[in-house]
Amino acid sequence: MGDRGSGRRGALTGRRGAPLPAGLIRPFLYGAAPPLEDVHGAGLSLSIRPAARADAALILALVGELAEYERLAHEVDATEAMLAAALFAENPRVFCAIAEWDGAPAGFALWFYSFSTFRGRHGIHLEDVFVRPALRGRGIGMALLADLARRCLAEDLARLEWGVLDWNEPARAFYRRLGAIAMEGWTKNRLDGGALAALAGRA
C-alpha cells in the first residue's frame, strides 16, 4: 500500500502517522515462520525478509506494478533514490518487507507507524501491499499481513489499518475474510500541489 488515488489500496489479487521513537523500533520480523512448503508439492517455498538498500530498484518496480494494477501509473513520480533515502535513512520512518517465492521477488508490504489519540497508542498504517499476479493464491499476501499483525501484538500497538480502492472487490472480499472492518462514514482528505502550497502560505 503512494496513496495517490481516492479510496486507495489493495492489490493482493491492499494500503497510508507519527513514528515511534527510534529506540522503540525493533528488528523487522516477528515470529516469522520457516519457509512454507508449496501446497502443490513442487518443493517451492515462501519467505519474508526486511528490505535492504540494494532492493530500492526492486521496490520501485513493484510500486510501478501496483500502480498499473490500480490504474494509477500516471501518478507515480517516485524515484529509486527517493525510496532509498526514505527507507534506508539512519532513522527511517517508513519500512518495507519483501516476499519471495522460491527465492524470487513475489511482492512487498510498505508501512509506517500511526497514532490514535482515542486509544493513546501507536498503530501501523499499511501504505502498500502487493503480490505479483502470477503468484497470487499461494498465501503470500496473507503472510505479509500476518507478519505485521505479529509486530502489532509484540509492540502492543492498537491496530493495523489500510485503505482499499472501492472497485477492488477481490481485495475487499479477502480483507472481510480476515475480519477487517471497512470504515464506512469516513472520507479521506488530501492536500497536495498548489492547494498545499496555498495553505502553507496563509497566515
pLDDT in tens, 155-178: 999 999 999 888 889 899 989 998
Catalytic residue among 30, 69, 113, 175: 175
Q: Quick check: pTM over 0.85?
A: no
Q: Which residue, among 104, 124, 119, has the nearest Cα to 17 in the 3D structure?
A: 124
> For residue 189, what are the CA distances in angstroms to 8, 66, 84, 203?
12, 22, 27, 21
4-59: per-residue pLDDT in tens? 333 345 554 333 333 333 333 333 444 344 444 444 445 569 999 999 999 999 99
Active site residue 30: no
To the nearest 5 percent, what fractions of the chain are helix, strand and coil?
Answer: 35, 20, 45
139: left (phi over 0), alpha (psi -120 to 50) or beta: left
Nearest to 145 by CA among 183, 194, 109: 109
